[in-house]
Structure 1
Amino acid sequence: MTIKAVLFDFSGTLFRLEHDPSWLTGVTDHRGDPLDVEAQAELMRRMTAPVTLTVDLDDEHLHAWHHRDLDPTLHRKVYLEVLRQSGIPRVEQAKALYGKLVDPAAWTPYPDAGEVLRSVSSSGISVGVLSNIAFDIRPAFAEHGLDAFVDEFVLSYEVGAIKPDPEVFRIALDRLGVAAEHTLMVGDSEEADGGAARLGCAFALVDPLPTAVRTDGLLTALREHSVL
């Protein structure tokens, strides 16, 4: 298979929302006590889990959860509820933490993300970023000088479809003008990103580990598919 385009997921693939201890300074639980290390780690996991539902939601919030990446309002609503159920009862604290989740400047690129995007783009292969997301991630790429290496951003809340719906992959392929059989999808979720395989794309799975731990996951994935 000759790869003519590579589609990358965003969260857990190219970038990661790393735990900054300063975000939780002064944050307290329902008893007014500071969160311990375990609680902080679980809170961050719940904020960034791409597919897994980690709390019990009523019907209203469950609907918001399933549609969160299609509507910024629903995204905010359900994540504030997730934070409340995760031990952050004070609304102002939950809103501040949510603000970090949707702030592109708070996201950290993986160590090899820049090298991979530059190398793929310079080799004449089209690059797309395809993300289930409810906020604009383009500024995150611009901040690190990586936007120049991305030909198309396909964001679920802008196009009205979410992975693994085949429609969102078709939109990305159409925008890049490349057939599925000449496209590699790289992502951290076999359930969501792996949906590209149903259209005939190749798929590479990466582990959404902390950026300090996964230093060459993208390079390895692309080399295994003979892209680099």
Structure 2
Amino acid sequence: MGIRAVFFDAEGTLLHIYPSVGAVYARVLAEFGHPVPEEELERRVRKRWPEFKRYFRDFSPEICRRTWRRIFREAVEPWLADPGEELFSAVYEAFARPDSFRLAPGTEEGLRFLRERGVKAAVLSNWDERLFRVLEAFGLDRYFERVFVACERGFGKPEPEFYLLACAEMAVQPGEALMIGDDPELDCEAALRVGLRARLYRGEDIFRIIKEEVDEGAP
């Protein structure tokens, strides 16, 4: 059975926050007159990220925004007790701008390769509506038949229904779909459990991964 669709994780796979979450936070804080040591803030975010990720258990536009507000508040707590809604909104919007991201190497080349081969492409992400804006800003939206966003759909990875919904809307069987992502559990193990193929992304060239997987899975 050949690969008829490739599903991509977004942040950490196709998109990489630049220069870092802490740096983006610090930049916006400085604009509001709150200088914070960028490296210390980034270390705090990295240390607490496994805990922060667990906050995303329920999904809706309102819940997701509230969760990001909580994460930001807890991240900057040693320097700022109450960031306030205006500051949080500025930080939230900073992650909707393309200058806060870099594309993974080989992204556009890989997506063009899929189009030329007639293989469908989609994004499966636990992010929110900002993802649509970032993809459009980079000109990537034209490559994807669907963008499945947990905070808009009401559920996300690692729920089996999220992957099965993607397969159904893309009109492929699970065994005909490949999931590429950087999270061993959310992107790979969960996908494999419902019958998809999966490839753990570790910073390689996206085009090389796609070509290798599609050529290997060709009928």
Q: State the TM bucket, normalised to the shorter chain.
A: 0.7 to 0.9
CA offset digits 1:135-179 (Å, max 9, x no partner): 242232222222221111111123222111110111110111111
Structure with higher helix content: 2
Tell whether 2:213 aligns with 1:225.
Answer: yes
Q: Which amino acid aligns with 1:42?
A: R
Whether 2:40 is the aligned partner of 1:42: answer no
Distance (Å, rounded) in 2 between the aligned partners of 1:159 and 1:177: 18
* Local SS of the residue matching 2:185: coil
- For residue 86 of structure 1, what is the amino acid of its counterpart? A
**Cα distance, 1:191 vs. partner?**
1.0
Q: 1:25 to 1:12 in 2, by over 3 A?
A: closer
TM-score normalised by L of structure 2: 0.80
- Whether the 8 Å CA contact 2:26–2:37 is kept in 1: the answer is no
User: How far apart in 1 are the matches of 2:65 and 2:16?
Assistant: 19
Distance change >3 Å, CA 165–CA 144, structure 1 → 2: same
Task: Classify 1:79/1:46 alpha carbon distance in 2 versus 1 (closer, same or farther; 3 Å).
Answer: farther
1:85-116, Cα deviation, whole Å (9 max, x unpaired): 22243324333223223x15343322311111
Aligned pair partner of 1:206 in 182, 198, 201 = 201
Instruction: Tell me whether 1:27 sits opposite 2:21 in the alignment.
Output: no
Query: How many residues matched?
Result: 205
Deviation at 1:198, TM superposition (A): 1.1
Match of 2:192 in 1: 197
What's the % identity of the aligned pairs? 24
Structure 1 residue 66 and structure 2 residue 60: aligned? no
| Alpha carbons of structure 1 residues 137 and 37: separation in structure 2 relative to 1, 3 Å | closer
CA deviation vs aligned residue, 1:19-43 (integer Å, no higher than 9, x gap): 3757524737xxx973224223236
Q: Please, what TM-score do these two structures have when normalized by structure 1?
A: 0.77
Which residue identity does 1:219 align to in structure 2?
A: F
In structure 1, stretches of 5+ residues that fail to align are 56-61, 208-213
Corresponding position of 1:83: 72
